[in-house]
A = this chain, B = another copy of it.
């Protein structure tokens, strides 16, 4: 099962064994974060990132095979943060629908509030490589799957549950991106309240409608 060439391009170059290597790799990532956030995608040149990280370009290429790999690592880190936060939020939740939704929304808002500009660059401005796109899609699919599972008993047919789940997942994600991480961000508390009501209402009406 050899990975295809394209995917290899997005993986860090080596699994560093030494602590120092690991630290440097992290420094590069952090530098990329800052650089992309400050200068945008086009302005985030590898030289700038290396300078920000306090190393030479040459060294940068010891840790990442190319620019896209850095971007991919950044996206991946963000995805992991988001997933972790989401799971943590849902872990202690009861089964009440509204509480579940509220916790999910709140978790996502917090993750995104951290760095709005970076989000724009990562998820809107930059031309994502195909494989990265795939990874994002897989993540979304799994979120949809989880949600659908939770909703399964409210719907007559699995396909209905999945559709509802997809709409819900996409709605929350989009609204967070656009209204919290966007240009003129909304007040978080209000946003959470309204989004929760929007989604909860939808899901409950689905149930009520007997589907």
Contacts of A197 in B (CB 8 A): 202, 205-206
| Residue of B whose beta carbon sits closest to that of A170 | B178
Binding-face segment, A14-22, A150-158, A161-169:
A161-169
A87 at the interface (CB under 8 A from B): no
In A112-140, which residues have CB < 8 Å from any B CB? Answer: 123-127, 133, 137
Asked if residues B195 and A167 are in contact (CB atoms below 8 Å), the reply is yes
Judged by DSSP, the binding face of A is: helix
- Residues of chain B with a CB closer than 8 A to A183's CB: 133, 137
Give the contacts of A32-49 with B (CB-CB under 8 A).
40-43
Q: Is the CB of A166 within 8 A of B137?
A: no
Q: Do residues B194 and A201 form an inter-chain contact, with CB atoms below 8 A?
A: no
Tell me the A residues contacting B by CB distance below 8 Å.
40-43, 123-127, 133, 137, 163-164, 166-167, 170-171, 173-175, 177-179, 183-184, 186, 190, 194-195, 197-198, 201-202, 205-206
- Residues of B near A125 (CB, < 8 A) are 124-127
Which residue of B170, B194, B206 is within 8 Å of A163 (Cβ)?
A: B194
Which residues of B sit under 8 angstroms from A190, Cβ to Cβ? 163
Residues in B with CB closer than 8 Å to A175 are 167, 170-171, 174
In the complex, 26 of the A-B residue pairs with CB atoms within 8 angstroms, ordered by the A residue number, are A40-B127, A42-B127, A43-B127, A124-B124, A133-B183, A137-B183, A164-B194, A166-B179, A166-B186, A167-B179, A167-B194, A167-B195, A167-B198, A170-B174, A170-B175, A170-B179, A171-B171, A171-B174, A171-B175, A171-B198, A174-B177, A174-B178, A197-B202, A197-B205, A201-B201, A201-B202
**How many Å lie between the Cα of A195 and that of B198 in the bound state?**
11
